[in-house]
Amino acid sequence: MSTLHIEVSPGSPVPIYHQISEQLQSAIERGALTKGDFLPSEIELAARWGVSRPTARRAIQELVDRGMLVRKRGVGTQVVNAQLRRAMRLSSLHGDLMRAGRKPSTIVRTFAQQPADQQVAEALEIAEGTPVHYLERLRLANGEPLALMRNWLITPLLANTAPEDFHATGLYEVLAGRRIRPRLAQQVISAKAASLDEAAVLNLPQGAPLLAMWRVMQDDTGRLVEVGDHVYDAGRYSVEMIVMDG
Amino acid sequence: MSTLHIEVSPGSPVPIYHQISEQLQSAIERGALTKGDFLPSEIELAARWGVSRPTARRAIQELVDRGMLVRKRGVGTQVVNAQLRRAMRLSSLHGDLMRAGRKPSTIVRTFAQQPADQQVAEALEIAEGTPVHYLERLRLANGEPLALMRNWLITPLLANTAPEDFHATGLYEVLAGRRIRPRLAQQVISAKAASLDEAAVLNLPQGAPLLAMWRVMQDDTGRLVEVGDHVYDAGRYSVEMIVMDG
DNA sequence: CAGTGGTCTAGACCACCAG
DNA sequence: TGGTGGTCTAGACCACTGA
């Protein structure tokens, strides 16, 4: 239990509850606490960590939210998952492939301004015909085509951007450089058969199953910023996520 | 602004912060506050609602978590979505179809105990060969086949259950009657072409695109309870969700 | 500079669960 | 009956924003 020792830096810009939850998480991940183990009570933990009970509770809550801990009134707090099962995030395919070590590369097929069609205009809540940036990319992993990605972005966003800017990095990384912070997205995931064009581009037989994703993204100011319509080679890509109740 | 009036019942078993957030949500949904409007400051809201600031904050936080409000330090709290875009939940297809008015019905194809194969055993973290319940159902919407659902459940769960119990209701409703409360699930969503068998059952041509979902569910005690392997007619079903950042 | 949300404290009372 | 987590209060100080 002494391995549960936690260091807090009161002067740090990172909140105390978060410092604690990060260290608690690594303690669990490295096996200092394993599935089924109970944590000491909140009162005791607060005393041990030198913080108030609400702060200790908030640190614990972060791990409860991520599915590592379960609280039961009158009983205690218990470890239910030794390692973190990561929730789905607003992440870019490029970053995901990088982390998986699959060597992403990108071919920019189109990058231009054009008037928004009815569907895009509706999603972005702008008038039909308003100029938007249209970006069409082919994403490859280890040199093989994996996804055809079409995006529409509201127009002030990508000023002074060249197609080359998308070669070594993902769209969301480019947006981050423009101080655009994604906050939430509405997604629809479906499946479809590859059209003739899609099949040709992705190097698949016509009619091959594709995983399709339609997305509308909102930034941290509440602005509707981007629409994405992506199709993935179903044999080589799937979507993983954690779904929580309550 | 007087339409923002909120009633609190201190003696109620439902927490004050939740009473407030529910009423605040309906106020926004009925248009008393619309996109772009600012809420009064937390201090003022706390006074107006007759609660402490942490309680007021927690009520507001619930709507921030659901993507209806955005907070900015030094600025204020702003409405960014008039209506709630509902996050993906641990819900049953049966319930979803009911709400959408699509008249679900179910054909139970198999309901039996059998030894867990390697894949199921691994997912449920039990020994291979351990007896589990196997449930195979065909779900129809408005009389047309929509999904083929195969589930494996740890064995003490469905004692004294008959196949008929699944006709008028979903698996999760049956589990709820057994006091099993789902808490989190890990899901993988992919696409595939319909096999000969799948095509026959779903009344589709062979090779038709299917949306496939693999799921491992954990209940509120941390027990791994259920594995699901479902395929859906891609032309008639898709998965919708909200993804949040941070 | 005044006002906002972000964090934190030190208490309190309660519902719930196990022995 | 004693200990647990769930809720709530009334303060406090801070970082950040915009005028």
Which residues does chain B have with pLDDT short of 50?
A: 1-2
Which chain B residue has its CA at the smallest distance from A54's CA? B54
Q: How far away is chain B from the Cα of A212, in angstroms, using its nearest Cα?
A: 9
Distance CA A87, CA B185 (A): 10
Of A54, A184, A210, the CB nearest to B244: A184
Tokens encoding A49: 């960590």
Phi, psi of B64 (to 5 degrees): -65, -45
Nearest residue to B227 via CA among B242, B209, B238, B214: B214
What is the reported pTM? 0.85
Distance CA B172, CA B92 (A): 6
Tokens encoding B158: 């469905």
DSSP annotation string for B191-241 = EEEPPHHHHHHHT--TT-EEEEEEEEEEETTS-EEEEEEEEEETTT--EEE
Reported as a single tens digit per residue, the pLDDT across A40-72 is 999 999 999 999 999 999 999 999 988 899 999
Distance CA B49, CA B134 (A): 52
For A195, residues 6+ apart whose C-beta sits below 8 A from its C-beta are: A206
**Per-position b or e across B137-156, b if 16+ CB within 10 A of its CB:** bbbbbeeebbbbbbbbbbee
Average pLDDT for chain A = 89
Cβ within 7 A of any strand C atom: A 15-18, 50-55, 58, 72-75; B 13, 39-44, 53-54, 57, 71-77
Reported as a single tens digit per residue, the pLDDT across B177-224 is 888 888 888 889 999 999 999 999 999 999 999 999 999 998 888 788
Residue B80 to residue A193, Cβ atoms within 8 A: no
Residues 78-117 of A with CB under 8 A from B: 78, 80-81, 85, 88-90
Q: How long, in residues, is chain B? A: 246
Distance CA B53, CA B41 (A): 10
B145 touches chain A (CB under 8 A): no
Residue with CA nearest D8 C1'? B55
pLDDT at A94: 80
Residue B190 to residue A211, Cβ atoms within 8 A: yes
* Residue A171, phi-psi category: left (phi > 0), alpha (psi -120 to 50), beta (remainder): alpha
CB pairs under 8 A between A and B: 143
Q: Are B216 and B182 in contact (CB under 8 A)?
A: no
pLDDT at A151: 97
**Which class for A109: exposed (0-12), middle (13-18), buried (19 or more C-beta within 10 A)?**
middle
CA of B158 to C1' of D16 (A): 56
pLDDT, mean of each 10-residue run, chain A (246 residues): 71 91 92 90 94 96 90 92 61 76 90 95 93 96 95 87 88 85 86 97 97 90 90 92 71
Phi, psi of A227 (to 5 degrees): -120, 135
* Residue B147, phi-psi category: left (phi > 0), alpha (psi -120 to 50), beta (remainder): beta
CA of B44 to C1' of D19 (A): 21
Question: Helix (H, G, I), strand (E, B), or coil: what is residue B243?
Answer: strand
Residues 74-113 of B with CB under 7 A from strand D: 74-75
Q: How far away is chain A from the Cα of B222, in angstroms, using its nearest Cα?
A: 5
Of B70, B89, B188, the CB nearest to A238: B188
